[in-house]
Chain A
Amino acid sequence: MFIHLENICFTYSLGMPFETEVLKNINLEIDKGEFIGLIGNTGCGKTTLIQHFNGLLTPTSGKICVEGVDLNKKGVNLRLVRQKIGLVFQYPENQLFEETIYQEVAFGPRKLGLPEGKIEKRVREALKMVDLDYNLYAERSPFSLSGGEMRRVALASILSIRPKMLILDEPTANLDPQGRDNILSEIEKIHYNFGMTVVLVSHNMEKIAETVKRLLVMYRGEIIIDDTPQEIFEKHANDLVKVGLGLPQVTECMHKLKAKGKDVYTGVLTVDDAEREVLKKMKKPIKR
């Protein structure tokens, strides 16, 4: 077990008039090699939750263990934990600051005190992971890039720390469909090729559900559903709608058919799934 959360509660401005309970009794286990989606509307506490994973926030009560180490114990080196858990913030392109992309990606390894030779190796490796050509990009300014490219550099600057787990907060926010597909396919590659544990945090199902293997749905500071995307779409569709998340069109279509008394499988994620299901359930032979 990689990360283990036990009864995590978190309250902002404790004891102040603006006191707000952001996380309520969260229990969660994440294993090595998992590919997880964390879905919920803005303000549901998902960003607060992931900031607990690498010790940026300390829970008001409860216990967090990363590889068996309790983060709240005195003397725990949080910098080591942050090296293990790479956290990519929302709009990470807004944190770039170096003169060249090389320096930007080298920032993390340099802070680890690695020798220059090793740093260069890591920069090359990280840029390759996000599909940016080292020779073309290394000496360019990060501010000369397009939005999608800047985001990939920001991702590379986390990958160069060689984390064991990657958490991405809204990695597709504000990208066009092409940019979104690119970054998702890179994340998929990183997961499958390097066995990276990945948590994708998002406020919309758009593509996330078909990418991940396990989906956590958060609502008002609680994890209300934890299951595979198929199971969730099949069994918890109503809950998703109720918390304002909505369903993919094809899933909605299947549910509406089912509501009309048709016997269809509702756990469809993609157009492919839906097409297969419809063809399977066709009563009459195809005719025009």
Chain B
Amino acid sequence: MKDQIKALDSINLEIKKGDFISIIGSNGSGKSTLAKHMNCLLLPTIGDIWVDEMNTKDKSKTWEIRRKVGMVFQNPDNQIIATTVEDDIAFGLENIGIKTTLMRERVDWALEVVEMREYKKSEPHLLSGGQKQRVAIAGAIALHSSYLVLDEPTAMLDPRGRKEIVDIVKKLNLEENITIIYITHLMEEAVESNRVIVLDKGKIALIGKPEEVFTQIEVLKQLRLDVPQITELALRLNKRGIDISPHILKVEDMVESLCLYI
């Protein structure tokens, strides 16, 4: 190729089991490219990616890695394959050759987890955006994946749909102990994770706990990213000499702090 573009540039990253990581960055920062490396949809030009001791470059491990790392994409319409909800969730299970009886159990379980049991027989095109994304999540976790990569799953949803997805993802992390890698450009969603990675031009610009990352307002603004309003307010008040922690991320904490002054 003549024009080679470095979408990712020397990324070093370790994700622990059970973690909830969010990745933010503007369009073209390499978020989706990074996500696609996690289950062999893309292979690195330089460097290695290991999933549970398996190298993604090892061709014999591709399917095992894809089974372990589930993926949910942005457009709900373009990732549902079958004509009913249950058939779509079963799609991945059919691919890895699971027995029919076991398959039925898994489909029911996955539907239960994403709270879509009553839509088992529905046709996907009649569901709301949030419901479609929940079907996509169910299809991924039905494979009993230990990791779930979500690539801007809420970008095309309304606030209600967004909340549905964030709630389900939190539940998967806490109750099912699924490791979450959540890509978004909505800060209020990233705040829910344990660790935030900010990507810029294929490099990790910031990494840390949400309260550490979101207080770097200058850096975030320079990268043309949003800052949670409440954190910005806390920082501004702090700068004015008011004794309010600049690490506030949640409205409740801000209200509590302000109550002492007003």
Chain A contact residues, CB within 8 Å of chain B? 41-43, 146-148, 173-179, 181, 203-204, 244-246, 248-250, 252-253, 256-257, 260, 262, 264, 270-271, 274-275, 278-279, 281-284, 286-288
Contact call A250/B225, Cβ cutoff below 8 A:
no
Cross-chain contact of A248 among B156, B225, B229, B242 (Cβ < 8 A): B229
B26's nearest neighbour on chain A, judged by CB, is A176
CA distance A252 to B229 in the complex (A): 11
CB-nearest residue of chain A to B161: A42
Asked if B230 contacts A253 (CB within 8 A), the reply is: yes
Contacts of A275 in B (CB 8 A): 233, 236-237
A252 CA to B226 CA, complexed, in Å: 18
Mask: chain B, 147-178; 1 = CB below 8 Å from A; 0 = not: 00000000111111101000000000000000
Are the CB atoms of A174 and B240 closer together than 8 Å? Answer: no
Residues of A within 8 A of B229 (CB): 248-250, 270-271, 274
Do A284 and B26 have beta carbons less than 8 Å apart? Answer: no
Which of chain B's residues have a CB closer than 8 A to the CB of A274?
A: 229, 233
* Structural contact, B233 and A250, CB atoms closer than 8 A: yes
Is there an interface contact between B27 and A146, defined as CB atoms closer than 8 Å?
A: yes
Q: Among the interface residues A146, A148, A279, which one has the most CB atoms of the partner chain B within 10 A?
A: A279
Q: Which residue from A260, A264, A271 sits with its C-beta under 8 Å from B236?
A: A271
Residues of A with C-beta under 8 A to B255: 253, 256-257, 260
Q: Is the CB of B254 within 8 A of A253?
A: yes
Contacting pair B159 A246 (CB below 8 A): yes
Contact B259 A260 (CB under 8 A): yes
27 contacts between A and B (CB under 8 A): A41-B159, A42-B128, A42-B129, A148-B27, A173-B155, A174-B74, A176-B27, A176-B185, A176-B224, A178-B26, A178-B27, A179-B27, A181-B224, A203-B159, A204-B158, A244-B159, A249-B228, A249-B230, A249-B251, A250-B229, A256-B255, A257-B259, A271-B232, A274-B233, A278-B262, A281-B262, A286-B240
From A177, A203, A264, contact of B224 by CB (8 A): A177
A256 touches B155 (CB 8 A): no
Q: Decide: A245 near B159, CB < 8 A? Known: A146-B27, A146-B28, A271-B229.
A: yes
In the complex, are the beta carbons of B251 and A256 less than 8 A apart?
yes
CB A194 to nearest CB in B, in angstroms, measures: 27
Interface residues of B in 236-257 (CB under 8 A from A): 236-237, 240-243, 251-252, 254-255
Q: Is the CB of B188 within 8 A of A279?
A: no
Decide: A250 and B230 in contact? CB cutoff 8 A.
yes
Give the chain B neighbours of A282 by CB distance below 8 A.
242, 261-262
Chain A nearest Cβ from B223, distance in angstroms: 9
A257 touches B159 (CB 8 A): no
Which residue of chain B is the closest to A274 with respect to CB atoms? Answer: B233
